């Protein structure tokens, strides 16, 4: 893998999709998989899949396919999931709880390790094994726990303020679930996870009535 290669965002977004399916195959003890099988399962063109994976080296073998375990290892390396990445979450509401429950799925060294909320009824409560901290402790805990990614699950009007605090605390990337657009300095990466986008784009594919 050449880490200097510039890979398009669309490809980077597909790698976790491959990874999820490969992990399912691995759990079922499947050893190899063809780009045809991957394409059928993931509703992608097999040629597209081969091209995506070829960015990172020659993983597949003609007529045999990809070694599942090896491909998992490679994609985890490429996505930097072979290192521990600590994540902080702000907003201990229903969505915050739901996301903390995902921790169990993270065999990939990426974990929510700290939860914050400013509401007195939330501070000090437990979500799974995580204690909810007040926002005043964000900067200190981000530093101490070397947290690199922040997740925002507060209501839209509070999202920008939380983003600012994440930026000051020194996180490198933000995943924003609030249904609003937040502004951060250019050197930070922000992904918006807005389920309305998936839902509204589904509507396009409904039959005309």
Q: Is 28 in the site for a second copy (CB under 8 A)?
A: no
Q: Is 158 a residue that touches a second copy (CB under 8 A)?
A: no
The interface mask with a second copy, positions 61-80, x = CB under 8 A, is -----------------xxx
Rounded Cα distance between 71 and 19, Å, is 8
91 is in an annotated binding site: yes
Kindly state whether residue 197 participates in binding a second copy, applying the rule CB under 8 A: yes
Residue 103 in marked binding region: no
65 labelled as ligand-binding? Answer: no
> Annotated binding residue at 86?
no
Cα distances (Å, whole numbers) of residue 182 to 40, 108, 172, 188: 37, 27, 15, 12
Task: Specify whether the CB–CB gap between 151 and 89 falls below 8 A.
Answer: yes
Site mask for a second copy (CB under 8 A), range 159-178, x = bound? -------------xx-x-x-
Which of 52, 41, 46 is CA-nearest to residue 13? 52
Its sign, for the CA torsion 81, 166, 159, 153, is positive
Decide if residue 108 touches a second copy (CB under 8 A): yes
Is 96 marked as binding a ligand? yes
Instruction: Let me know: does 21 contact 38? Beta carbons within 8 Å.
Output: yes
Query: How far, in Å, CA of 194 to CA of 157, rounded?
Result: 15
Q: Which secondary structure element, helix H or strand E, spans residue 121, and what is its range?
A: none
Indicate the length of the chain as a whole number. Answer: 209
Indicate which single residue of 10, 29, 58, 121 sits in contact with a second copy (rule: CB under 8 A).
10
Q: Which of 1, 31, 41, 126 binds a second copy (CB under 8 A)?
A: 41
The verdict on 179 binding a second copy (CB under 8 A) reads yes
Least CB distance from residue 12 to a second copy, whole Å? 5
Strand ordering across the sheet containing 189-192: 126-127, 130-133, 110-116, 85-90, 147-152, 173-176, 189-192
Asked if 135 touches a second copy (CB under 8 A), the answer is no
Helix, strand, coil percent content, the chain, rounded in steps of 5: 45, 20, 35
Candidate segments 52-60, 82-90, 113-121, 133-141, binder of a second copy by CB under 8 A: 82-90
Q: What residue ranges bind a second copy (CB under 8 A)?
A: 3, 7, 9-10, 12-13, 15-17, 19-21, 24, 41-42, 78-81, 83, 85, 87, 93-95, 97-99, 101-102, 105-106, 108, 110, 148-149, 151, 172-173, 175, 177, 179-181, 189, 191-209
């Amino acid at each position: 893998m050449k880490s200097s290669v510039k890979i398009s965002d669309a490809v980077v977004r597909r790698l976790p999709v491959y990874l999820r399916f490969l992990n399912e195959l691995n759990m079922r003890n499947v050893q190899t998989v063809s780009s045809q099988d991957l394409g059928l399962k993931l509703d992608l063109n097999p040629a597209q899949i081969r091209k995506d994976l070829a960015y990172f080296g020659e993983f597949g073998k003609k007529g045999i396919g990809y070694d599942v375990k090896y491909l998992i290892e490679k994609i985890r390396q490429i996505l930097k999931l072979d290192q521990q990445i600590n994540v902080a979450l702000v907003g201990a509401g229903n969505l915050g709880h739901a996301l903390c429950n995902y921790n169990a799925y993270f065999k990939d060294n990426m974990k929510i390790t700290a939860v914050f909320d400013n509401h007195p009824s939330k501070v000090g409560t437990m979500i799974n094994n995580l204690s909810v901290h007040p926002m005043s402790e964000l900067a200190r805990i981000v530093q101490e726990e070397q947290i690199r990614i922040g997740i925002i699950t507060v209501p839209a009007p509070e999202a920008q303020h939380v983003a600012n605090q994440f930026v000051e605390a020194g996180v490198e990337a933000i995943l924003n679930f609030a249904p609003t657009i937040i502004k951060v300095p250019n050197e930070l990466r922000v992904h918006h996870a807005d389920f309305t986008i998936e839902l509204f784009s589904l509507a396009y594919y409904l039959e005309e009535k």
